[in-house]
Chain A
C-alpha cells in the first residue's frame, strides 16, 4: 500500500523482514517482565483462553446434570457451586478481559500507529493483578466453593458457608486489573494517535474500545466498594445489607447492578467493535454510517448507567421506578439497532468473501439480533413478571454474551491471528468451527427460550418431566458447541507448527495495523506511520499475495 508513508527507509514489500517482537529477546524471563503491549496481549490471550476452557468445562457439567431430571451426576449443593463457578469464571475472568485486554491490547496501539500503550508498566501490572485475582478465584473453589451465583445476592451470600469472602475479594482485585486496562486505553487513544489520525479517522474498533474503557473506569470502582461492603458484612456484620440489623438487602442489588449492568456493556461493546472491523474488510465496502456506529457506542456507554434497576422489577421497588427503568431500558435498543442496520447496510452490494472471520461476523449479526430483541421482552414490565428468573433470561443472556461477544471474539481472533503470530490458519478448519459453533449454539439456547416461557426456573438442578426433551436437545447442542470451540482452538494452534507465511495484509484491511509487518517489530512500525486516508476507504486497497 502506497498510501501510508513511512519515514524510515522501509517501504512495504521491498525491504527485508525485520526481527519481529516474537523473535527479539526470546526466553521466558523476557516475556514475564515485558512492557510490550503485544506480548502482554498474548499473555492475556492464553490466560483468558485457559479460563474460557475451565468455565466451559463447568458449563458442560451443568448441561450433563440436566440431561435427566433428578439428582444423577451431582446433588443440589454441588450443582449450585458448579453453575456459580461457571458464571463467575466466565464473567470476571473471561468475558470482561477477553476482548479489551487480549485482542485490544494487541491491536489498539497498532491501529493508532503508536509504539505502545500510554502506560506500559501499568499494562503489565494489570496482567499480574489479573493473575492474582484468578489464583484467588481458583483457591476459593478449592477452599469450599461458592454457591451464591455470580451475582452474590444478599442475604444468602452473607450467611452461606464456603469461600464467598475469598471469591468476592478476587472480584475486587480483578476490578483493578480492568480499571487499569481501561484507564490505559483512554489515555492512549487521547494522546498517542499517529499524525493525521483525527477522532473521525479512528477505526471503529477504537471507538468501541474507548466506550468500553469509559465504562470500565466509571463503573468498576462501584463494584469494588460493593464487594468490600459485602466482605465487611460477612466478617463484621456491619448491618448495611442485613434487614435484621436495620439494613437493606435490596441495596446490595442496587449497588451490584449499578456496576454489573454497565459491565454487560463492557462485555458486548468490544464484540460490536470487532464486528465493525470484520464486516467492512470482508465486504470490501466503506462502512455505512461511520459516525452512527461511533456515537452509538458512546450512547450505549452512557445509557448503560441508567438502566440497572431493570434487574429488580420483582424486588418490590415502586411501580414508578419500574416504569422509568423499563422506559430507559428500551432506549438501549436504539443505538444497538443503529449498529445492526449499519452493519447490514455495509454488506449490501458489497463484495463479500466468506472467510472464517466473516462467517463468525454473520453469526454474530443473527445471534445478537435475537439476543437484543429478546431483551425487550425482559425490559417490558408485564412480560418480565412472567419471565423473570426463568431459562428465558438465561437464553437471552447467552445469546448476547456468547452469541454476541464470544463469537465476535473468536472471529476477531481468526482475523488478527496472522498479525499476531505471522501464520495463516487452515481456512477449512476455521469454517468448520464457525458452522459447528453456530449450529451448536442455537441448539443449546433456542430450546431454553421455549422452556423459560413455559416456566422452567433458572438455577435448578432438576426439573419437571415435561421439560426433558428440550433439556436433552440443549445438552446435545452444548456438546456440538464445545466441539466447535475445540476445532477453532485446534485450528489456530495447528497453524503454529507451520513456518511463518502471513503477509502484512492478508485480508486487504484498510486500518493501520495491516501496514505493520506480520508479526510486527517490537516498536510496531519501522518509522512513524502517517495516516493519509480515512479508514474503510477501499479505493486505495489492493489485495496482495
Chain B
C-alpha cells in the first residue's frame, strides 16, 4: 500500500522499495562497497604475507628470479593503470555533473587502458611460458639459476594472476556501466554504480602499485 503511494510521489525509478530515500540507498551501497574492498585487500594480504616470508627465507632466489621479468613492460603497465584511474575519476565526475558524452568517453578510455594492460601481460606471460619459468612443478627453466627460483615464479603467477583476474572482472563491470551510461540511466540524481565501479577500479590499480615494486624491483 505504502509502496504504491511512494511511487505516485514520483520517486527515482532506481530507488528500491526498502529504502526511504535515494541518499540512504547510496550510503548503504557505498558502505557495502568499502567493506567489499576491505575483503579484497585481505584476500591479497595473504599472498603479500606469504611473499614477504618466502622472500625473507630465499632472498637470493627472489632476486635472481626477478631478473627474468622485463622491467620496462611492468613500468608501462603501471603508467597505463595510473592513467586509467585518472580516466575513471573523470568518468565519475562526469556522471555526477550530467556530462553524458564525457562519461562515455571516460569509461571507454578506462576499458581501453585495462585492455592494454592485459595485452602487455599476455606478452609477458607467453615469454615466461616459453622459457619454462612457471610455478611449482611446472618450472623447467634450464639456464643458470639459484636454488628455489621456482618459488619466485609461484608467487609471480599467483599474484599477477589473481590481479589480472580482477582486471578482467573490472573490464566486464565497466562495460556493463558503459552500456547503462549509453542508455542514459545516470544523472546527478543517480550515479552510484559509476561511483562504486570507480572505487573497485582504483583498488585494482592500487594493488598493482604494490605488486610492481614487489615483483619487478626486488633487491
- Residue numbers of A with Cβ under 8 A of B are 8, 114-120, 122, 179, 183-184, 186-188, 190-192, 217-222, 224-226, 228-229, 232-233, 236-240, 245-248, 251, 255, 523, 526-528
Q: Give the residues in chain A near B57, CB-CB below 8 Å.
A: 246, 248
Chain A residues contacting B40 (CB-CB under 8 Å) are: 221
Bound together, the chains give a CA A118 to CA B150 distance in angstroms of: 46
B147 to chain A, nearest CB (A): 8
- The answer to whether A8 and B2 have CB atoms under 8 Å apart is yes
Is the Cβ of B42 less than 8 Å from the Cβ of A192?
no
Chain B residue contacts of A183, Cβ below 8 A:
32, 35-36, 39
The residues of A that contact B148 with a CB separation of less than 8 Å are: 239, 245-246
Contacts known (A232-B158, A236-B137); A247 close to B54, Cβ less than 8 A: yes
Q: Which residue of B lies closest to A182 (CB)?
A: B35
Nearest Cβ in chain B — how far from A40, in angstroms? 13
A115 touches B50 (CB 8 A): no
Contact of B31 among A115, A179, A186, A528 (CB under 8 A): A186
Minimum C-beta distance from A85 to chain B (A): 26
Asked if B46 and A222 make an inter-chain contact with CB atoms under 8 angstroms apart, the answer reads yes
Find chain A residues with CB under 8 A from B19 CB.
192
Contact A225-B53, Cβ < 8 Å, known A184-B32, A236-B136: no
Contact of A251 among B50, B135, B137 (CB under 8 A): B50
| Chain A residue at minimal CB-CB distance from B36 | A183
**When A221-B43, A251-B50, A251-B53 are in contact, do A237 and B136 touch as well, CB less than 8 Å?**
yes
Q: Shortest beta-carbon distance, B173 to chain A, in Å?
A: 15
Rounded to whole angstroms, the CA-CA distance of A238 and B2 in the bound complex is: 58
Contacts of B3 in A (CB 8 A): 523
Chain B residue numbers with a CB within 8 Å of A184 are 32
Tell me, rounded to whole Å, the shortest Cβ–Cβ distance linking B133 to chain A.
Answer: 13
Contact check, A187 vs B32: say whether CB atoms are below 8 A apart: yes
Residues of B125-176 contacting chain A, CB below 8 A: 135-138, 148, 150-151, 154-155, 158
A230 CB to closest chain B CB, in angstroms?
11
- With the chains together, A27 CA to B40 CA distance in Å? 38
Is residue B9 contacting chain A, with contact meaning CB distance below 8 A? Answer: no
Could you say which residues of chain A place their CB within 8 Å of the CB of B45? 221-222, 225
Q: Which of A8, A118, A220 is in CB contact (< 8 Å) with B1?
A: A8
A226 near B46 (CB under 8 angstroms)? yes
For residue B58, CB closer than 8 A to chain A, the reply is yes
Give Cα distance in the complex from A379 to B49, angstroms: 26
List 14 interface pairs A-B (beta carbons < 8 Å), by A numbering: A8-B2, A120-B18, A179-B39, A187-B32, A190-B27, A217-B38, A221-B42, A222-B45, A229-B46, A238-B154, A239-B136, A247-B54, A255-B49, A523-B2
Known A119-B32, A251-B50, A255-B46; contact A238-B39, beta-carbon cutoff 8 A: no
Contact A225 B47 (CB under 8 A): yes
B28 at interface, CB cutoff 8 A: yes
B residues near A248, Cβ cutoff 8 Å = 53, 57
- Indicate if the CB atoms of A246 and B135 lie closer than 8 Å: no
B70 is an interface residue with CB less than 8 A from chain A: no
Please give, as numbers and ranges, the residues of chain A lying within 8 Å of B67 by CB-CB distance.
Answer: none
Residues of A within 8 Å of B46, CB to CB, are 221-222, 224-226, 229, 255
Cβ-closest chain A residue relative to B148: A246
List the A side residues contacting B151 at CB < 8 Å. 238-240, 245-247
Query: Interface on chain B toward A: helix, strand, loop, or mixed SS?
Result: helix
Measured CA separation A221–B44 after assembly (Å): 9
B24 in the interface (beta carbon within 8 A): yes
With a cutoff of 8 Å between Cβ atoms, the chain A residues found around residue B16 in the complex are 120
Closest 6 CB pairs of A and B: A225-B46, A236-B136, A238-B154, A115-B18, A221-B42, A116-B18
Distance from A216 Cβ to chain B, minimum over Cβ atoms (Å): 9
Is the Cβ of B43 less than 8 Å from the Cβ of A523? no
B17, CB-defined interface residue at 8 Å: yes
| Cβ-neighbour of B39 out of A119, A221, A239, A247 (below 8 A) | A221
A245 to B150, CA, bound (A): 9
Q: Which residues from B are CB-within-8-Å of A233?
A: 136
A120 CB contacts on chain B under 8 angstroms: 16, 18
Number of interface residues of B (CB under 8 A): 41
Tell whether, in the assembled complex, residue B39 and residue A246 are in contact, meaning their CB atoms are under 8 Å apart. no
Partner of A239, one of B27, B36, B38, B154: B154
Q: Is the CB of B28 within 8 A of A191?
A: yes
Distance of A239 Cα from B31 Cα, bound (Å): 38
Give the shortest distance, in Å, between B124 (CB) and chain A (any CB): 19
A218 to chain B, nearest CB (A): 7
Determine how close the nearest CB of chain A comes to the CB of B68; give it in whole angstroms.
Answer: 17
Q: Are A225 and B43 in contact (CB under 8 A)?
A: yes
Residue among B18, B27, B45, B61 with the most chain A CB within 10 A?
A: B18
The distance from the CB of B186 to the nearest CB of chain A, in whole angstroms, is 19
Q: Using Cβ atoms and an 8 Å threshold, which residues of chain A touch B138?
A: 236
Contacts of A179 in B (CB 8 A): 39
Residues from chain B with a CB closer than 8 A to the CB of A218 are 38-39, 42
B39 near A220: Cβ-Cβ < 8 Å: yes
Complex alpha-carbon distance, A188 and B3, angstroms = 20
Complex CA–CA separation, A221 to B47 (angstroms): 11
- Give the CA-CA distance A8 to B4 in the complex, in Å: 13
Of A187, A251, A526, which is within 8 A of B35 by CB?
A187
Q: Which residues of A contact B36 (CB under 8 A)?
A: 183
Shortest CB distance A8–B (Å)? 7
Q: How far is the CB of A107 from chain B (nearest CB, A)?
A: 16
Max count, chain A CB within 10 A of own CB: residue among B1, B39, B43, B45: B39
| Chain A neighbourhood of B31, CB < 8 A | 186-187, 190-191
- How many whole Å from A180's CB to the nearest CB in chain B? 9
Cross-chain contact B32 with A118 (CB below 8 angstroms): yes
Looking at B3, B50, B148, the one whose CB has the most chain A CB atoms below 10 A away is B50
Given the known A-B contacts A225-B46, A238-B151, are A118 and B28 also in contact in the complex, defined by CB atoms under 8 Å? yes
Tell me the bound Cα distance from A523 to B5 in angstroms. 14
| A186 contact set on B, CB distance < 8 A | 31-32, 35
Contact partners of A225 in chain B: CB under 8 A = 42-47
Q: Which residue of A lies closest to B17 (CB)?
A: A115
Contacts of A8 in B (CB 8 A): 1-2
A114 to B18, CA, bound (A): 7
12 further A-B pairs in the complex, CB-CB below 8 A; given A118-B32, A245-B151 = A122-B32, A217-B38, A220-B39, A221-B43, A224-B43, A229-B158, A233-B136, A236-B136, A245-B148, A246-B58, A247-B54, A527-B2
B44's closest neighbor in chain A, by CB? Answer: A225
Chain A residue nearest to B16 in the complex (CB): A120
Q: Is the CB of A238 within 8 A of B43?
A: no
The residues of A that contact B135 with a CB separation of less than 8 Å are 232, 236, 238
CA distance A217 to B31 in the complex (A): 13
B31 closest partner in A (C-beta): A187
B18 touches A192 (CB 8 A): yes
Q: Which residues of A contact B2 (CB under 8 A)?
A: 8, 523, 527-528
Q: How far is the CA of A120 from the CA of B32 in the complex (A)?
A: 12
